[in-house]
Amino acid sequence: MQLGDIFTEESFDVATASVEIERVEIDSRRCDFATLFFALSGRVVDGATYVPEAVERGAVAVVATRALRAPVPVIVIPETEVYAALAHASAALSAHPERGLDLVGVTGTNGKTSVTTLVADLARWLGWNGATIGTLTSERTTPAAPEFYRTLADARSRFDPARAKSVVALEVSSHALDQHRVEGSHFEVVAFTNLSHDHLDYHHTMEEYFATKAQLFDDRYSSTAVIWVDDAYGEKLATSTALSVVRVSREDASDVSTTLGGTVFFWRGHLVNTALIGDYNIDNALVAMTIMTTLGADDGRVAAAMASVTPVPGRFEVVHHGAITVIVDYAHTPQGLERLLRSVRELSSGRLVTVFGCGGDRDRAKRPEMGRVASELSDVTIVTSDNPRGESPDAIIDEVIAGVASGADVVREPDRRAAIALAMSRTVGGDVVVVAGKGHETTQDFGDHVVVFDDREVVREIVKGQQC
């Protein structure tokens, strides 16, 4: 595609207009032959600094928010319009894969991955095309426009064109909204799960965090919203947005029965029998099912399809269920951990041993709060390393332990494998071990190196060793 075909409203000379473009990038390190490089200004770095590297690697044109000196054409676009231009260019180079798709955008502190995965799974069981983009599929929860549209194009290439609908559910993080990663996108439905303490190292206050999330519920992104209103921020959003709102609440489910084997409840007069486990997963299921009916699916068919959906990896995943039960979950916020542990308490009669840590180079303020939650709701708490990244594992553990309840049985063990083994050794028949924080992740990040580490595989190895 030629530069003039991408920016049809710009006045280029013939030579500039005919420059061939094959890809769009915002990262100079990913530039290659025939790349259009967007030199964006971030919170920390100015993309203009990387124009020489981008050109050296093959960029043949640059988009910037101010005039720059470069050996290739530079298109200057106002900062208020540059992200929309990035989305437009990315979509055009990917042959507009969004056209004909029903995009669903899901935001919130907890539950984004579960809801988007359920939506895609339900779509497939209903005979539609379905895919997700988010934590389980991308390096970032919400990829920037170039990667987003390339991922959309890849998903679309695998869809069956004969199917009635094609649904792609996208996790939309607060960072993505603040950094305009979904600017220029239009969603058939946007959804909100909940809001609780997280990312305050970035957003500073809960009100700032909420205001950022609320940006998605604007008519430039969608006309319809599905909102979980049992959350105080969800209720606030439902009453303040101008979008058409479909409210979702726990009251939508009746006669709920849940065990470590699955969950049964009635929804809109239909029986729902699902392998999903845990209190919070009922909420996620209600949001996902409501999204599906908002997209036009029949209530009864959606309810029936829930019997076939696969539990989301690393979300209340029962890894071992014998004399003791071991559950692995991604809970990495105070509210997420609290809901997880309360759900486990309701489903078991034995003691609860919790293993968890907090990530390094992330929101430090939530660490003592997570220590308090775990120690108050567990019989034994073992504080270990999560992804320490550039921080000292012991220093992170110190901050977690600073918040633990007085008199609680708390052990520190920085080695995560040893911590899991210790937890399992301190149990007897009927007890439950919860390993929280990493869920589906298969590596552990120590800043200067990354090692292979999957909580689920570690549990299986320990169980196998105990059986030998």
- pLDDT tens sequence across 399-450: 999 999 999 999 999 999 999 999 999 999 999 999 999 999 999 999 999 9
Written as one letter, the residue type at 331 is: A
CB 232 within 8 A of CB 251: no
- CATH H-level, domain 102-305: superfamily: Mur-like, catalytic domain (3.40.1190.10)
Alpha-carbon separation of residue 43 from 94, 175, 176 (angstroms): 28, 11, 13
**Tokens describing residue 29:** 């390190």
CATH code for 3-81? 3.40.1390.10
As a dihedral over the C-alpha atoms of residue 158, residue 159, residue 161, residue 164, rounded to 10 degrees, the angle is 180
DSSP 8-state code for residue 296? T
Q: CA 283 to CA 263: how far, in whole Å?
A: 12
**Tokens describing residue 134:** 């988010």
Per-residue burial over 305-344, b = 16 or more CB atoms within 10 Å of its CB, e = otherwise = bbeebebbebbbbbbbeeebbbbbbbbbbbbbbbbbbebb
Full-model pTM: 0.86
Q: Kindly give the parts of the chain with pLDDT less than 70.
A: 197-203, 467-468
**What is the SS3 assignment for 291?**
helix
139, with CB counted inside 10 A (0-12, 13-18, 19+), is exposed
Alpha-carbon separation of residue 256 from 181, 262, 265, 272, 337 (angstroms): 39, 11, 4, 9, 22
Residue ranges covered by each domain of the chain: 3-81, 102-305, 317-467
CATH architecture of 317-467: Alpha-Beta Complex (3.90)
CB 165 within 8 A of CB 128: yes
CA torsion through residues 92, 97, 101, 105, sign: negative
Among 370, 367, 393, 364, residue whose Cα is nearest residue 451:
393
CB 303 within 8 A of CB 289: yes
Task: Count helices and strands (H / E) in the chain.
Answer: 17, 21
Confidence (pLDDT) at 352? 97
**Tokens describing residue 8:** 């049809």
Report the DSSP pairing between strands 270-274 and 262-267.
Answer: antiparallel
Cα angle 103, 80, 47; round to 5: 95
